[in-house]
Amino acid sequence: MNAKKGTQTDIFDFRLLKQMTTDASQTNSELGKKIGIFSPSAVSKRKKSLEERGLISGIKASLNCEKCNLDYPVVIFVRGKYGLNYVESLGEKLKKLPGILSIYNVSGDIDFVVFAVYKNRTEYLSVLDKLYEIKEIERTDTRQIYNIIKDFDYSNAINLNSIINPQ
């Protein structure tokens, strides 16, 4: 938490974060009723403060991959060729590939875990050809994702019960 006056994150901020990660399209009035602040302008100020402090950035729609005709999700494990700034260089090149959802630099025998989604196997294979052209890659290992049991969701990281116990 930031020690500057007026910038500490309190229970109302955490409640607001939880609501916004669930449905950011709610009006300030709707959000206020759910978090216990009944002034829409106060909710607006809190949202602005959360943004200024870097706790939130932008508001995005969640796409339904299947309905968008993106039915070939994959996870790609990438081992890079060790060298000066190879993580930054390879990371930049991976970011530019089509269909990339997220990239994580990890420890262990692989360097990157890449999540991506494509229309079909053919589209994925065209991206795989582009991976082969990147000189900083030693090898890749791809797995097709058959079922998404639980997708990435930061809202579960906000556990109000661990922050404040109402009893």
Domains, the chain, in order of start with CATH, read 11-59 (1.10.10.10), 72-144 (3.30.70.920)
Predicted local distance difference test score (pLDDT) of residue 165? 46
Give the mean pLDDT of 67-95: 93
One-letter-per-residue 3-state SS of the chain: CCCCCCCCCCHHHHHHHHHHHHCCCCCHHHHHHHHCCCCHHHHHHHHHHHHHCCCCCCCCCCCCCCCCCCCEEEEEEEEECCCCCHHHHHHHHHHCCCCEEEEEECCCCCCEEEEEEECCHHHHHHHHHHHHCCCCEEEEEEEECCCCCCCCCHHHHCCHHHHCCCC
152 pLDDT band (50/70/90 cuts)? confident
Q: What is the mean pLDDT of the chain?
A: 87
- pTM, entire model: 0.73
At 21-58, the pLDDT tens digits run: 888 899 999 999 999 999 999 999 999 999 999 888 88
166 pLDDT band (50/70/90 cuts)? very low
Tokens of residue 156, six digits: 């579960």
Helix 28-35 to helix 11-22 angle, to the nearest 10 degrees?
130
At 68-80, the pLDDT tens digits run: 888 999 999 999 9
How far apart CA 106 and CA 67 sit, in angstroms, is: 31
